[in-house]
Amino acid sequence: MNSIHHIPDASAFTRTQQLHIIRRTIDGNSFNWLVWAVAASGFVTDSYNLFTFNVIINALYFVYWPGEDDTQKEFLINMTTLVGSIVGQIVFGVFADKFGRTRLYGVELVIVIFSTLGVASSSRGEGSMDILAWLLAWRFMMGIGIGAEYPLSAVITAEWSPTHARARMMGAVFLMQPLGQLLANLVGIGVVMGYNRNHQLDKCSDPSIADCAQQVDRIWRWVTGVGAIPALLAIVFRFLIKDPGLYELEVRNDGDSAFKNTDQVYGGGIPEPDSHAPLRHTRGSNYMMDMGEPPLPVQFSRSDLYDYFIVQGNIWYLVGTSTTWWLVDFAFYGLGMGNPRTLAKLWLKGSERDARVAALGGSVPTWNVLAPSHLYARNDGNNIYATLVEGAKRNMITVSIGSILGSTVFVMAGDYLPRRHAMTFSFVVLGALFLVTGGVIFATNDTGFHAVSIVLVGLIYFLFNLGANTLTFIIPAEIFPTRYRCVCHGISAACGKLGSVLVQWILRQATFEGVKADDVTEENLGYVFVVFGCVMLTGTLFSWAWIPEVQKKRDGRNGLRLPSKTLEELGKGMEAARAEKTAVEAGSSVVDSEGMEGVTRRGRRTWVRRV
């Protein structure tokens, strides 16, 4: 192999050779920190802006709707944001496949920046406007930007990742979701404590006091506005990366741009193969050259969509990624553990909660999340300072710590886990743990063992991010062909958000023993866990039936690591996977001179790598 660092003329090679050269160049490298930083910076920004609403919601109620004990406005804002996310995931998924990954990469951050500033500056004027209407409009727009980040960050990371580092890089990007949530809580606590030094927010228990309302109004605007800062930094990163070589070659059929972009990201030039030596993958697997170089499929044409999804049966892969993501988000967002009122249900004993409710005259304003006993013992519990600080602390302890640890363990162990089986198994474990947690909540609600339920919920979030929550983000970016990779990821993610929308509506309507599920004053949280446990168990079937293998068997050369299949292999779809499996099980296959297995599909020869 010629090791001179330069970019060869792409026209000297067939398209298949160009693809193999790009794959060999990328796979000759390790974890790419530039690609990770580009994707992670946007993902942490969007996570901050998505979850910061849980930090500021009580401040909004304190200032604008102090006497309300209903969560309708919170429900509407959440629903609007999630619907916006669905729109962003689908629309930007289609556009990214049609017009290029990086052409739109940054547009979604501009949307997030403007909508963040819009939320932070929302007002009711001199009674001439409705602040709720402004919040709904801006949060919908923000949702579009947040949703767009999912397919763009996932697919760009997958396409620029070396095959052996793909799971770790994508897992490290998804780690930014719980980190963004943690950052939102830390910023919230910092701003509240800062204002408390000069304005004694711990004395503000009456929203009608003008100075209290004014300071709290400033707090939620600062916490929201801070979300625009990392977005501005993330935009700078977006100028440092180009469309992946796989996209340039497999969609645009532009080999020169594919070579140039790959060299720009990885450096060191594009190595040429020896003229008489077979192209060989850097990790030891042989490839073949296409026979006849068939034309590229016409992207988004009716004939190609029908052929790929219906004739070849790959619609079931999309059903698999969509239903599993739907089920994960149904439970993840349905728990609502980022919500301070839901956390209050979990953290307070039944007797403590009843005493607080009685002290408040039988009705708990939505802004008051019932602070813990030691604050009430000092008469410091019924104020907005305790409400905001304790809500953020509970969130970090219950949700953030477990989620961050789960994602971190996945990044370290992702190469050793069989991803398909890990997803299936995590549905089983999470379903069982949900059922156990529901029972523990019923059994320990008013006992000295009440903290056990908090520990179990933290364990649930750990397992969520170690398994299904992370894998539903990763797998859709792996198993579809380059020409439909973004739209399929966007559809899968949108189905997840559709599940979260549906569960929000169901919990709004549901009652357990005649009591509404979202009523903070009642012991109904255990029922919610039991229902979600049953939902999670159903995910086992969909994961097992319609999620394909994305890794090969251990070959003894990589220790306990499970080698990942290349995106090119996975993009061949269900028919190629079946043919490969059949050939391996039969112990026979058609092998060409370059070491590639050939299978015949609908009258033409398709080549897959030997296993």
Amino acid 274: pLDDT: 52
Cβ neighbors of 580 (< 8 A, separation 6 or more) are 597, 599, 608, 611
Amino acid 360: pLDDT: 58
Percent of residues in the chain assigned helix, strand, coil, to nearest 5: 65, 5, 30
Q: Which amino acid is at 460?
A: I
**336 vs 401: CA distance, rounded Å:** 16
- For domain 25-241+315-546, which CATH number applies: 1.10.600.10, 3.40.50.1000, 3.10.450.50, 1.20.1250.20? 1.20.1250.20
Q: Which amino acid is at 288?
A: M
Helix axis angle for 525-546 and 340-347, nearest 10°, is 110
Q: What percent of the chain is modeled with pLDDT above 90?
A: 59
Q: Which amino acid is at 117?
A: L
**94 vs 348: CA distance, rounded Å:** 46
Q: Considering all CA atoms of the chain, what is the largest pairwise distance in Å, rounded to the nearest integer?
A: 87
Locate the domains of the chain by residue range: 25-241+315-546, 573-611
**CA torsion, points 92, 97, 99, 103, in degrees to nearest 10?**
60
**334 vs 210: CA distance, rounded Å:** 36
Let me know if 290 is exposed, middle or buried by CB neighbors in 10 A (0-12, 13-18, 19+).
Answer: middle
**52 vs 46: CA distance, rounded Å:** 10
- Which segments in the chain show pLDDT lower than 50? 1-4, 275-291, 373-380, 589-611
3-state secondary structure of 606: strand
Give start and end residues of each alpha helix (H) in 360-484: 373-377, 384-395, 401-413, 419-444, 451-466, 468-474
**27 vs 83: CA distance, rounded Å:** 38
Q: How many CB atoms lie within 10 A of CB 523?
A: 18
Residue whose token pair is 């993009």: 571
**342 vs 369: CA distance, rounded Å:** 9
| Residue from 55, 236, 80 nearest 144 by CA | 80
Amino acid 148: pLDDT: 96
3-state secondary structure of 100: coil
**72 vs 51: CA distance, rounded Å:** 18
Amino acid 271: pLDDT: 72
Give start and end residues of each alpha helix (H) in 267-383: 302-305, 315-335, 340-347, 350-359, 373-377
Q: Which residues pair with 272 in a beta bridge?
A: 2
Give start and end residues of each alpha helix (H) in 100-244: 107-120, 131-160, 166-174, 176-199, 210-225, 228-238
Eight-state DSSP code of residue 284? S
Q: What is the pLDDT of residues 514-540, one digit of tens each?
A: 777 666 555 678 888 999 999 999 999
**184 vs 570: CA distance, rounded Å:** 37
Q: Provide the token pair at 125.
A: 């004027």
